[in-house]
Amino acid sequence: MRSMRLTLCTGAVVAAAFTPAAYAADAGPAGITVTPAAPGPGTDIQVRAMGCAGRTGTAVSDAFVSDARLTGGGGGGLVGETRVRTSLHPGTYDIEVDCDGRSGRIKGTVTVAAPDSSPSVSAPASPLAPVHAGGGGTARLAAVDARAAGPGTRQAVVGLVLASVAAVAVAVRSARRGQDGRD
């Protein structure tokens, strides 16, 4: 019974090991695909680049709000997401994918469709360019180099006073313990 389990487990491992190789053989030629195929302005899209040998890439287009960071590798190609600018007019826009930092490796296009004119559907709100978000009220503080600013005179004096108080407290406590031990 034990050898049967071992045989089945070994067979499953071997099948799993060869599955990606079979998928990579069917990957096809280099190219870029966009899902959905004809997005409207403001639509979130998925960009897939086939033909990159590496594990990372960047898809760049004037149609995108920001560059799409692509990851993956192997037979499935590189995949990433971005959003189509809301201010675009319908038309075809070029896409260029840099594979592992090498520019101009794969080129393609995205066809932007006219926005839906029905009153019940509107394009989602979208920034026109990358937004430097996050940090809340700390954004101003994060811009300052803490090593250059360092503590001021006031902080240094307060630190010395606190260290002195702590040293006196330890000395007094040690002296009391020493006296208690002699009795």
Complete edge-to-edge strand list for the sheet that includes strand 91-99: 31-35, 44-50, 78-83, 68-72, 56-60, 91-99, 102-112
d(CA 183, CA 175) in angstroms, rounded, equals: 13
Residue appearing with tokens 């389990």? 5
Q: Specify the pTM.
A: 0.48
pLDDT recorded at residue 116: 64
**Each residue's pLDDT tens digit, 131-174:** 666 656 665 555 555 556 667 888 889 999 999 999 999 999 98
Given pLDDT bands bounded at 50, 70 and 90, which one contains residue 52?
confident
Residue 169 is encoded by which pair of tokens? 């407290």
10-31 mean pLDDT: 43
The better pLDDT of the pair 145, 108 is held by 108
pLDDT recorded at residue 178: 78
User: Is the per-residue pLDDT at 96 higher than 50?
Assistant: yes
- CATH C-level class of 27-116: mainly beta
pLDDT recorded at residue 55: 85
Ranges of each domain in the chain:
27-116, 151-176
Please, what sign has the CA dihedral across residues 151, 157, 158, 164?
positive
